């Protein structure tokens, strides 16, 4: 795990305007575009082009407009308007209508009521155009408020929305019961955020074991769950369990990140499974990219392993 100094180093890099300017010139375009493999691009046209390519490959997609932890109501309003514009553009383009978003991008850390208003604007616009919206889960400090908001809107009748649960957290078994009782759709992830021992499993084996337990329950008790992992051992176990229990390929889907283990994505597709790709885009890709590297050392090694394994 990263020590405080290492994590602070990555955080400093993510906030560096100088590095961001350099990365903007070389990270997404050019012969050494180190981030383009994992980020669809900086603008909506890039994102829609990526969605078209994914769709042409027989894969599904969800689109994520990058940005989180905004510090002002104005920034939250801007992000909300960007999502409304995105919904209209994707609708016109005729590509798959599926979005993922973070509540701190809509102002959760600034004003909860404003965040809820912004989210409802997006959900209602999305519903008119036939979109499904997934609320991404952020660090454990936001878990309870995220679930509270999700549950409130669900009970108010907003049903074109699902949420994410992280197997690394001790509380997730109870959160599963809470969300699943609503009949809502859950995406299961391991969790990329560095969390303290008091709230999260620290050993990979424990995180993996919790993931498998939850995945099994989702397959037999859940509502069209999304199994989001690149872990080949877990993928094999999920497929084995689903086959054993007679869970059809159309009753759930797998999800993976854009640019990661494209070989596995295609193998799942070829095996008759539904495979959805999480497609991030936007000008805020550099802070996003650096923070992902800084959250856990496994993220750095994972990107390198993914490239080597696929090659």
Q: Give, for all 311 residues of the chain, the pLDDT tens digit.
A: 444 345 445 555 555 666 556 556 555 666 556 677 889 998 999 999 999 999 999 999 999 999 888 999 999 999 999 999 999 999 999 999 999 999 999 999 999 999 999 999 999 999 999 999 999 999 999 999 999 999 999 999 999 999 999 999 999 999 999 999 999 999 999 987 888 999 999 999 999 999 999 999 999 999 999 999 999 999 999 999 999 999 999 999 999 999 888 999 999 999 999 999 999 999 888 776 776 565 455 556 655 565 566 55
Confidence at residue 4, expressed as pLDDT on a 0 to 100 scale: 39
CATH no. for 37-310? 3.20.20.220
Among 64, 97, 134, 136, the active-site one is 136
Please list the alpha-helical segments (H only) found in the chain. Answer: 4-14, 17-26, 44-56, 73-93, 112-128, 143-155, 172-180, 204-221, 232-244, 262-270, 285-295, 297-310
Matching residue, tokens 């005729």:
94
263 is catalytic: no
Res 92: pLDDT: 97
**Predicted local distance difference test score (pLDDT) of residue 297:** 56
85-91 contacts at long range (C-beta below 8 A, 24 or more positions apart): 85/44, 86/44, 87/122, 87/125, 87/126, 87/129, 87/131, 88/125, 88/129, 89/44, 89/48, 90/48, 90/51, 90/63, 90/129, 90/131, 91/129, 91/130, 91/131
Q: Which of 97, 134, 185, 187 is catalytic?
A: 187
**112 and 146 Cβ atoms separated by less than 8 Å:** no
Do residues 267 and 50 lie in contact, with contact meaning Cβ atoms separated by under 8 Å? Answer: no
pLDDT of res. 7 = 45
Cα→Cα distances 180→4, 73, 173, 213, Å: 36, 32, 11, 15
For every residue of 161-208, DSSP letters joined together read EEEEEETTBTTHHHHHHHHHTTT--EEEE---S---TTTB--SHHHHH
Given the structure tokens 């597709």, which residue do they identify? 269
> Does 305 participate in catalysis according to the annotation?
no
Contact by Cβ (8 Å): 165, 138: no
pLDDT of residue 2: 44
In this prediction, residue 3 carries a pLDDT of: 46
- Give the global pTM: 0.89
- Give domain limits for the chain: 37-310
């Amino acid at each position: 795990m990263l020590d405080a100094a290492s994590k602070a180093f990555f955080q400093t890099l993510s906030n560096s305007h100088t590095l961001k300017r350099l990365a903007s010139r070389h990270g997404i375009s050019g012969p050494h575009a180190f981030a383009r493999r994992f980020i669809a691009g900086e603008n909506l046209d890039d994102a829609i082009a990526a969605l078209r390519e994914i769709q042409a490959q027989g894969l599904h997609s969800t689109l994520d407009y990058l940005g989180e932890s905004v510090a002002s109501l104005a920034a939250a309003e801007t992000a909300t308007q960007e999502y409304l514009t995105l919904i209209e553009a994707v609708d016109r383009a005729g590509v798959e209508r599926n979005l993922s978003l973070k509540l701190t991008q809509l102002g959760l850390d600034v004003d909860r009521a404003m965040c809820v208003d912004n989210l409802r604007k997006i959900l209602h616009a999305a519903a008119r155009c036939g979109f499904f919206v997934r609320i991404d889960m952020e660090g454990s400090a936001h878990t309870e408020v995220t679930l509270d908001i999700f549950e409130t809107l669900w009970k108010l009748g907003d049903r074109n929305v699902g949420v994410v649960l992280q197997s690394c957290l001790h509380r997730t078994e109870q959160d599963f019961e809470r969300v699943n009782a609503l009949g809502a759709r859950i995406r299961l992830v391991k969790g990329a955020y560095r969390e303290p021992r008091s709230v999260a499993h620290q050993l990979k084996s424990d995180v993996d074991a919790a993931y498998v337990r939850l995945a099994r329950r989702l397959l037999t008790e859940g509502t069209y769950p999304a199994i989001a992992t690149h872990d080949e051992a877990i993928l094999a176990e999920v497929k084995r369990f689903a086959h054993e229990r007679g869970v059809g390929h159309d009753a759930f889907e797998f999800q993976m990140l854009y640019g990661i283990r494209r070989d596995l994505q295609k193998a799942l597709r070829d095996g008759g499974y539904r495979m959805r790709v999480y497609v991030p885009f936007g000008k805020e890709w550099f802070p996003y990219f650096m923070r992902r590297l800084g959250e856990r050392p496994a993220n750095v090694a994972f990107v390198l392993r993914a490239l080597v394994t696929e090659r």
